[in-house]
Structure 1
Amino acid sequence: MNAEAFRVNRSVLLRGGLLIWLALVYMALWGDLSIANILGGLAVGAIVIFALPLPRIPVTGHLNLWALAELTVVSVYYALESSFQIAWFAIRPAPPPVSGVLRVNLSTRSDLVMVLCTDLLNLIPGTMVLELDRRRCVVYVHVLDVSSDAAVQRFYETTRRLDRLLVAAFERTVSR
């Protein structure tokens, strides 16, 4: 089997999987498993796939399962930790914390890893990515608590760790 045939088969397989996924989401949104909803989901999925195609993202990395497992554990930990921090800010007898926008320089050059990093930052309560500068690999993040140098440093340590784990999990490392 040549490379072109493999690419075509992979494309058909990916589109078929996406079509099934979109049909399942459609049925879940309607909350009813019926022939009409299955056919409607397949029709809506086909329209989405062919009328609104996503741009191709070049993926040139690899998958490191150990780093991915560590990334998953660390991400869940950070999400839980910040959820408790948000809850504390809500019930403590003090004024709201000082918030601000911080600039984060990412070490990745991959668009996919950059998007994954911003998604993870958005999943952490108290943070929201406001702007991406793809060319310079810079992300501007609104952070709930920048009231002290220690809080800002803690945020930068969190983002550096997430960035390092994402690069280790999804990018091919280049020896220099």
Structure 2
Amino acid sequence: MSPDLPRNRLHRATLTVWRQLPFFVWLIALWMLLWGQFTWLAFLTGLIAAVIVTRIFRLPPVELSGRVNLWWGFIFVLEFLVAVVRGSLTVAWQVLDFRRQPGAAIIAVQLRTDDDLIMTHTAVTASLIPGSLIVETDRDRRIVYLHVVGVRDDADVEKQRASVHSWEARIVRAVGSRAQLRAIRADAAARGLSTSSGTLKSGGSGR
């Protein structure tokens, strides 16, 4: 047996560990977020859960983009915490406001990136924010279905869709590939152009 063979195997194993490390850390963070606890006990139980998911269940390896932007990751965490607090206050006010019942709706949102990991991150983020919950996903068509509280008209529906797209864009900026980042930017530019065209048409019809 060639002496380089064990060395190559060790190198491949080390490379695989480093590639999967961000996903491993994300599983621990997701566990702590789901329990709403940031303690050593939550960390240790999350570590055990991550080991079980990645080692006992023989799932295909998750292909990461290889790109991590720490600044956008920090922005994502900060805005997520703000959204959780705002969502909690909004839901509490809707419960205490006896003058009217908060509307609810099932909203379909088509994502702009074709990636299982980005889709999962976006769905989990939307579910963790009080007032919205993912009820189903359509992988083939890249559609997530949310049950949202506080929806009364079409404007609220579009606002919720825009919110999900914003979270998707934040996640892509933090951990998405460069191709996904270009797709998000192109879609944002197209939406901005479409909005501007609609405004111009509306203004022109009033003359």
State the partner residue of 1:148: 153
Matches of 2:118 and 2:50, distance apart in 1: 27
Higher relative contact order (CA 8 A, sep 6+): 1
The structural deviation recorded for 1:60 is: 2.6
Matches of 1:107 and 1:117, distance apart in 2: 11
The structural deviation recorded for 1:107 is: 1.4
Give ranges in structure 2 of 5+ residues lacking alignment. 33-39, 184-207
Matches of 2:53 and 2:75, distance apart in 1: 35
- Residue 142 of structure 1 aligns to a residue whose secondary structure is strand
Amino acid at match of 2:151: V
Q: Structure 1, residues 98-135: CA drift from partner, whole Å, max 9, x if none?
A: 11100111112221111111110010111110111112
Matches of 1:50 and 1:78, distance apart in 2: 34
Instruction: Judge which range, 113-122 or 144-153, deviates more.
Output: 144-153
Amino acid at match of 2:158: Q
Q: Does 1:117 align with 2:122?
A: yes
State the partner residue of 2:111: 106
Instruction: Judge which range, 152-161 or 106-115, deviates more.
Output: 152-161
The structural deviation recorded for 1:61 is: 4.2
The structural deviation recorded for 1:54 is: 3.7
Give ranges in structure 1 of 5+ residues lacking alignment. 30-40
State the partner residue of 2:139: 134
Q: Which of 5, 10, 15 pairs up with 1:5?
A: 10
- Residue 178 of structure 2 aligns to a residue whose secondary structure is coil
Q: Does 1:66 align with 2:38?
A: no
Q: Does 1:94 align with 2:66?
A: no
Q: Which of 79, 86, 98 pairs up with 2:84?
A: 79
State the partner residue of 1:168: 173
Amino acid at match of 1:119: V
Q: Could you say which structure has the higher helix fraction?
A: 2
Matches of 1:145 and 1:53, distance apart in 2: 41
Amino acid at match of 2:166: R
- After superposition, the CA RMSD in angstroms is 3.5
Matches of 1:123 and 1:45, distance apart in 2: 19
What TM-score, normalized by structure 1, do the two folds share?
0.72
The structural deviation recorded for 1:154 is: 2.3
Amino acid at match of 1:150: A
Percent identity between the two aligned chains: 24
State the partner residue of 1:36: none
The structural deviation recorded for 1:169 is: 1.1
Size of the aligned set, in residue pairs, is: 157
Amino acid at match of 2:150: D
- Residue 130 of structure 1 aligns to a residue whose secondary structure is strand
Amino acid at match of 1:88: W
The structural deviation recorded for 1:45 is: 9.1
Amino acid at match of 1:112: L
The structural deviation recorded for 1:53 is: 3.3
